[in-house]
Structure 1
Amino acid sequence: MNLDAELSALAVQEDLPADLVWRLLRHPQARRSAALLRSDLTAESMEEVIRLGSARSLAANSSVPAEVRARLAEHPELSVRAAVAASVADDPPGLLARLAGDPDPSVRTFLAMNEHLPAELLALLAEDAEPSVRSSVIGNWRHAPEPVRRALLTDSDPNIRRSAASAYSPPTDLVPVLLADPETRAIAVRYTDPSPELAADPDSGVREAVAAHPNLPAELRDVLAADGDVFVRNAIADRQDTPSTLRESLSAALETDDPWVEWIQSSARTPHTCPPPAPAPPRLTREQAESLLARAGL
């Protein structure tokens, strides 16, 4: 571990004496770590963090007193207000509504991610003029009421319609609308019965969606097994109901020299697993902490 990393680890060590925390604030990386993660920062330490230019990290710390975060919600730097917006509670009352009216769309986008946001403010942000804000609502409000879902599924922005179609089960009467929309057609396949017309769609993404449909009839499965698109054939090979002889012949023909295609195919078959977390750094005694600070000139 290099010196910067050691100082950052020390900066978040539990029960670290306040005087050592104060000295660590002189080191930029350690200061950001302490500002973001410590729950025992003193009022003087928080003021020093702000003075030294790490208000953004402090704004994202949920342990910071409400009055400090409310003050940071008025900070001139966009990144600071956005950090507050992402996680602040409505304390003092009206703070969330004030952030919903922030002139910068990035702040409103982060606000839509806030788990403390009430439904009425989420509904307001779902109608925001900035597409990134509406997109953030979709990503963080999976149980939006039907009027909100309808509006987003029929949004004027194609990216919003695609995101909404991926996130929400559409009302039955909207399924034909989504199927008629080139932007959402492939996604909407899951909500209708597979048909020869869909299996022959010129969009390979639609045909791939048909190939993965749980209710795909055997006759359409066999048609799509001969599709010209490698990803459509791959979807057929991945089906549990594909006969073993057909799967083997498809798998043999799916071999490719294209590393991107190979990666897509293999990732569909192999679930992603996260690496194990790194071991926690050793806890330093006062003497060891003093030695580390001395090495860093702090």
Structure 2
Amino acid sequence: MELDAELSALATQEDLPADLVRRLLRHPGARRSVALLRRDLTDELIAEIIGLGSLRTLAANSSVPSGIRAGFAEHPEPAVRCAVAASVRDEPPGLLARLAADPDPSVRSFLAANEHLPVESLALLAADPEASVRSSVIQRWRDVSDDVRRMLLTDADPGIRSGSVRAFAPPADLLPGLLADPATRAASVAYAVPTPELAADPDPDVRAAVAAHPDLPPGLRELLAQDQDSFVRNAVAARDDTPPALRDQVLATLGSDGPVAEWALSFSRGTHRCPPAPPAPSRLTRQQAEFLLARAGL
């Protein structure tokens, strides 16, 4: 492990004496780890971290006392308020509502990801004038109410409509319109009956969605196995009900255009394997920690 990585790992070691933590603050990478991840920061260490210019990182640490983090919510830099908004609780009461009214849309977007945000605030952000905020709500909120679901599925922004139909099952009365909308057609296929017309759609994303449909008839499966688009054929190969002989035939046609395409195709079929996670760094004794700090000149 490189020296910088060793110092960052030491910075998160539990029960590390405060004097060693303070020495680590002189190393930028270790200081970021201390500011973001340590749960035992004293008022003195917090003040020192702020003085060294790592306030934004510190603001994202959910273990910093709520009174201090509430003060960060008033900081003039939006990046600091974003860090607070992502995980802060409503302490003092009204803090989340204040952040929901923040003039910077990036702050409101981060707030939408906050697991402590009440449903009322999520509904307010779902109607936010900024598409980026509404998009964050879609990614965060799954048990959305019917009126909010309809609002997002019929949003004026095509990206919001597309994200919504991928996140929420659309009401039946909206499905025809979603299938007719180029922005939502492919994602809506999962809720429709697969037809020869959809299987022959000029958009390969639509055809790939048909190929992955759980109720795909065998005849359409065989047709899509011959599709000119490799991702459509790949979707056929990924099906549990594809006969082995047909799967082998399809796989033989999936020549890779490079490692990225290879990864994408194997990921879609569920055959991609991530490398094993590196082992956790070993816990250092005080003597070992002192030696490491000395090597780094800290």
Q: Shared topology, TM-score over 0.5?
A: yes
RMSD: 1.9
- Number of residue pairs matched? 297
SS in 1 for 2:159: helix
- Give me the whole-angstrom Cα distance separating, in 2, the residues matched to 1:228 and 1:192: 23
CA displacement at 1:95 relative to structure 2? 0.7
Structure 2 portions without partners, runs of 5+: none
The percent of aligned pairs where both chains have the same amino acid is 67
Is 1:157 paired with 2:157?
yes
Task: Provide closer, same or farther for how the CA distance between residues 285 and 229 of structure 1 changes in structure 2, counting only shifts above 3 A.
Answer: closer
SS in 2 for 1:35: helix
What residue number does 1:39 align with? Answer: 39
What residue number does 1:178 align with? Answer: 178
- Give me the whole-angstrom Cα distance separating, in 2, the residues matched to 1:30 and 1:285: 18
- Give me the whole-angstrom Cα distance separating, in 2, the residues matched to 1:18 and 1:296: 18
What residue number does 1:256 align with? Answer: 255
What residue number does 1:27 align with? Answer: 27
The range that moved more, 267-276 or 30-39, is: 267-276
- Aligned amino acid, residue 10 of structure 1: L
What residue number does 2:70 align with? Answer: 70
Deviation string 1:3-28 (CA, Å, 9 cap, x unpaired) is 32222222222111222222222222
Task: Provide closer, same or farther for how the CA distance between residues 231 and 294 of structure 1 changes in structure 2, counting only shifts above 3 A.
Answer: closer
- Aligned amino acid, residue 53 of structure 1: G
- Aligned amino acid, residue 134 of structure 2: R
Deviation string 1:149-181 (CA, Å, 9 cap, x unpaired) is 111111111111111111111111111111111
What residue number does 1:234 align with? Answer: 234
Task: Provide closer, same or farther for how the CA distance between residues 170 and 8 of structure 1 changes in structure 2, counting only shifts above 3 A.
Answer: same
Could you state the TM-score of these two structures normalised by the residue count of structure 1? 0.92
SS in 1 for 2:15: coil
- Give me the whole-angstrom Cα distance separating, in 2, the residues matched to 1:35 and 1:262: 39
- Give me the whole-angstrom Cα distance separating, in 1, the residues matched to 2:218 and 2:36: 56
Could you state the TM-score of these two structures normalised by the residue count of structure 2? 0.92
Q: 5 Å matches for 1:197-236?
A: 197-236=197-236
CA displacement at 1:71 relative to structure 2? 0.8
Structure 1 portions without partners, runs of 5+: none
SS in 1 for 2:287: helix
Alignment check: 8 A CA contact 2:238 2:270 kept: no
Task: Provide closer, same or farther for how the CA distance between residues 90 and 244 of structure 1 changes in structure 2, counting only shifts above 3 A.
Answer: same
- Give me the whole-angstrom Cα distance separating, in 2, the residues matched to 1:29 and 1:281: 16
CA displacement at 1:262 relative to structure 2? 4.1
CA displacement at 1:243 relative to structure 2? 3.5
